Amino acid sequence: QVQLAESGGGLAQAGDSLSLSCAASGRTFSGYYMGWFRQTPGKEREFVAAISWSGGFSYYSDSVKGRFTIARDFARTRVNLQMNSLKPEDTAVYYCTARRGSFATEKERYDYWGQGTQVTVSS
């Protein structure tokens, strides 16, 4: 059974840093992009960042580019999101996700999802 388990969310103040981690299990994720989306109440789940199987390609939404960094561990069973210079508008539930194939920003094109972890940034 495929599982994506997020950890590392919590409370932060504007300007602080937080790190999220996602542990993947249940199958080999060879050829899978892994990434992060986020969602706030009443809004669509939106793309945040994604990284290729090799780790050689990474993509970010404009809203987090330059502040967030996505990375994949050597064993390719964990993907991390380092979030710096946090802003109140970064407050959301963050979801780890994975899809086989090419990069995509549409949530419908992702195959697996974690349960989500809350990130709250106060001003």
pLDDT digits (tens, 9 = 90+) for 52-74: 998 899 999 999 999 999 999 88
Q: How many CA atoms lie within 13 A of 22 on its CB side?
A: 29
pLDDT of residue 58: 97
How many CA atoms lie within 13 Å of 75's alpha carbon, on the beta-carbon side? Answer: 7
SS3 (DSSP) at 10? strand
pLDDT grade, residue 20 (50/70/90)?
A: very high
| pLDDT(76) > 80 | no
Whole-angstrom distance, CA of residue 16 vs CA of residue 18: 7
Report the residue count for the chain: 123
Q: Are 67 and 19 in contact (CB under 8 A)?
A: no
**Tens of pLDDT, residues 78-91:** 999 999 999 999 99
One-letter amino acid identity for 104?
A: A
First to last CA, the chain: 40
Pairwise CA distance, residues 8 & 28, whole Å: 23
Q: How confident is the model at residue 50 (pLDDT cuts 50, 70, 90)?
A: very high
